[in-house]
Amino acid sequence: MRKALRHAVLCLLAMLVSQAYGQVTYPKNYFRSPVSFNVTLAGSFGEIRRNHFHSGIDIRTEGVQGKPIYAIADGYVSRVNVSAGGFGKALYITHPNGYTSLYGHLRSYAGAIAVWVNSQQYKNESFALDTEVPAGVLKVKKGDLIAYSGNSGASGGPHLHFEIRDAKTQEIIDPLFFGFMQPDDIPPRIAWLKVYPMDDNSMVNFAGKALLVPASGSGGNFSLKLADTIKVSGNIIFGIEPSDITEGGLKTGVYSIQLSVDGETIFTQTMDRFAFAETRYANSLMDYPAFVQQKRKIQRSYVAPNNRLSVYSEVKNRGVLTFTDRKAHRVQYVVKDVFGNAARLNFWVRSHPPAGSRPKPVYTGSQLFTYKEDNHFERDGIRFDVPKEALYEELPFEYEVTEASGGSYAQVHHLHNNLTPLHTFCSLSIKTRGLPESLAGKAVIVQVFPGNKRSSVGGKYSEGYVTAQIREFGNYTVMVDVTPPVIRPVNVFNNKKVAKQNSILVKISDNLSGIKTYRGTLNGRWILMDFDAKSNQLTYVFDQMMKPGKNIFVLTVTDGVGNSTRYEATLNR
């Protein structure tokens, strides 16, 4: 008995030590696959995307919808989320071993789950649904059919978005740790290296701008397509663009990146799990301007002062290296995937002393913003508040104003530029010019893009100003929306006989403030109309609400400032 107790204690201690060092062991045989075919990926865990990390894996469904989706283990449906964007139709199952599985972009739910979701939508008279399900209401067994794969929400094509989360912390974990995919032996690839001078006294190849160098290689060994050694001086950081795309375009993802100089580890990042609160820090991890301008996903081996990602370890001086001697230094990147396959990029840099200290330039811009405190900026016609921690580091904020363009009721305010990301929402108030009192309720702030394209960010009018929350620097002005939404029936018209069809299809759109609500009824009673934001299409599949004989179909669509359009048709079944 004593021996067994001692063994149990030792096992517990070993587990705690393992977890303390990030070496968590995940069960590989507890879960089954959510699909009945071989898992291949179109998207990997932790992929860097604008404003977020990819939070799961995208399982290919052979380019079609309607593949059966199964519960990966016993448990209960704990949450259902239905929306026109995001994961579209999504399902969460909580399992007794401490994990939650998520299935997204579904076409439809199956069995008792479908019945329950439909009842909730009719109860709330809303297509959109985000509700927690009490434990025990929708129990599932391992292998139960729970849904069918689809392309709902913000999906670029048919696939299953699949996640595993820690049920207690809600952190997302790479599902490949749980054995959902056959290991491969193909190492990642390294496509580019970028070397950055960090201040005005730093240089790369005797210039004060970053150097982008292509890499080439195979079998895990990579080198630079550059004949000469890179010359560096002062404070320098490095970045690389890796990928883990195998033959056939399949992905398993980049798990870790390690940078060392002269054999000493300078920087390590490990993408094994993260919290949703961290996901927007992807904008700080990557070279944001390179992504905006060239769509390059260069991952910087640098931790900005307000980058609070938990994926970093062994980081020295935030990844900033200081080169002042006259020596050659060996630099190595090691990139691994989740299966342990490694790619190495080795290259040399030659250091030289700074070319003499240059005086720090005097900032002559509009205002210096800090990430440590709230920032308030005010000029004639504008008030702009950037809260603390909205920036990743100190910013010399630039501001310009130009005269109103056609259709605007305010000057165009140029807030810095689109190459600097914002982490949190900021309050922007713009003073109107010549806005009739009768149109004050129709006024919105719009972002102006190249080519004079405009997109509403909403807003409310008060005492001469329109105020909205924005999360991007850019060019903003005020416009009014007096045009109601457009309703375009696809397969119905007044007095149509619909006995040979099983649905009503309608396209809806709005010119500026965006569609806020829609409501469809048959014979005065609400009907469930599925909204696909990608195609702007509403779909009502005939159910018990469509009666034999004459039916009166009414659809009302309202935009963000209250403009409304009503469509009515008599349909005979």
Residue 258 has pLDDT above 90, yes or no: yes
Low-confidence winner among 14-23, 79-88, 210-219 (lowest mean pLDDT): 14-23
Query: Residue 251's pLDDT is what?
Result: 73
Supply 188's token pair: 């990642």
Query: Beta strands 530-532 and 537-541: pairing type?
Result: antiparallel
Phi, psi (deg, nearest 5) at residue 563: -65, 140
Please give the C-alpha separations between residue 332 and each of 202, 221, 229, 297, in angstroms, as whole numbers: 21, 11, 14, 19
Identify the architecture of domain 486-572 in CATH. Answer: Sandwich (2.60)
Which residues in 478-506 are b (16+ Cβ under 10 Å) and which e? bbbbeebbebebeebeeebebeeeeebbb
Q: What is the DSSP letter of 484?
A: P
Of 10 and 155, more confident: 155
- Tell me the mean pLDDT in the region 133-156: 96
- Tell me the mean pLDDT in the region 388-406: 94
Q: Is the pTM of this model over 0.85?
A: yes
302 — pLDDT class (breaks 50, 70, 90):
very high
Summary mean pLDDT of the chain: 93
Residue 244 has pLDDT above 90, yes or no: no
Query: Residue 404's pLDDT is what?
Result: 86
Low-confidence winner among 243-247, 257-261, 315-319, 415-419 (lowest mean pLDDT): 243-247
Residue 283 has pLDDT above 50, yes or no: yes
Taking the C-alpha atoms of residue 59 and residue 553, their distance in angstroms, rounded to an integer, is: 39
Which 3 state secondary structure label does DSSP give 310?
coil
248 — pLDDT class (breaks 50, 70, 90):
low
Work out the number of other CB atoms within 10 angstroms of the CB of residue 264: 9
Query: Residue 7's pLDDT is what?
Result: 38
Q: What is the DSSP letter of 438?
A: G
* For the chain, percent of residues with pLDDT exceeding 90: 88
Supply 211's token pair: 């150097």
Query: Residue 247's pLDDT is what?
Result: 55
Query: Residue 111's pLDDT is what?
Result: 97
Taking the C-alpha atoms of residue 563 and residue 555, their distance in angstroms, rounded to an integer, is: 14
Query: Residue 522's pLDDT is what?
Result: 98
Residue 34 has pLDDT above 50, yes or no: yes
Where along the chain do its domains lie? 27-178, 189-351, 367-480, 486-572
Query: Residue 361's pLDDT is what?
Result: 56
Residue 440 has pLDDT above 70, yes or no: yes
CB 160 within 8 A of CB 62: no
Residues 6 or more apart whose CB falls under 8 angstroms from that of 345 comprise 190, 193, 215, 217, 222, 223, 224, 240, 332, 333, 335
Residue 82 has pLDDT above 70, yes or no: yes
CB 299 within 8 A of CB 311: no
Work out the number of other CB atoms within 10 angstroms of the CB of residue 460: 15
CB 563 within 8 A of CB 536: no
Residues 6 or more apart whose CB falls under 8 angstroms from that of 516 comprise 558, 559, 560
pLDDT in tens, 90-143: 999 999 999 999 999 999 999 999 999 999 999 999 999 999 999 999 999 999
406 — pLDDT class (breaks 50, 70, 90):
confident
Place of tokens 């070993």: 14
Transcribe 88-122 into DSSP letters.
Answer: SEEEEEE-TTSEEEEEEEEEEE-HHHHHHHHHHHH
17 — pLDDT class (breaks 50, 70, 90):
very low
> 474: alpha, beta or left, given left = phi > 0 and alpha = psi -120 to 50?
left
Query: Residue 81's pLDDT is what?
Result: 98
55 — pLDDT class (breaks 50, 70, 90):
very high
- Tell me the mean pLDDT in the region 12-19: 36
Supply 451's token pair: 């080519």
- Name which of 189, 392, 158, 202 is nearest 287 in CA terms: 392
Residue 433 has pLDDT above 90, yes or no: yes
Supply 215's token pair: 């890499």
Residue 365 has pLDDT above 70, yes or no: no
Query: Residue 6's pLDDT is what?
Result: 41
Hey, what CATH class is 367-480 in? mainly beta
pLDDT in tens, 304-352: 999 999 999 999 999 999 999 999 999 999 999 999 999 999 999 999 9
Query: Residue 19's pLDDT is what?
Result: 40
Taking the C-alpha atoms of residue 444 and residue 461, their distance in angstroms, rounded to an integer, is: 8
452 — pLDDT class (breaks 50, 70, 90):
confident
CATH of domain 27-178: 2.70.70.10
Q: What is the 3-state secondary structure (H, E, C) of 353-372?
A: CCCCCCCCCCCCCCEEECCC
Supply 134's token pair: 């009490």
Query: Residue 2's pLDDT is what?
Result: 46
- Name which of 283, 248, 247 is nearest 393 in CA terms: 283
Query: Residue 428's pLDDT is what?
Result: 98
Please give the C-alpha separations between residue 321 and each of 190, 263, 317, 324, in angstroms, as whole numbers: 21, 14, 7, 10
Query: Residue 11's pLDDT is what?
Result: 38
Position 217, amino acid: G
Taking the C-alpha atoms of residue 25 and residue 448, their distance in angstroms, rounded to an integer, is: 50
Query: Residue 14's pLDDT is what?
Result: 33
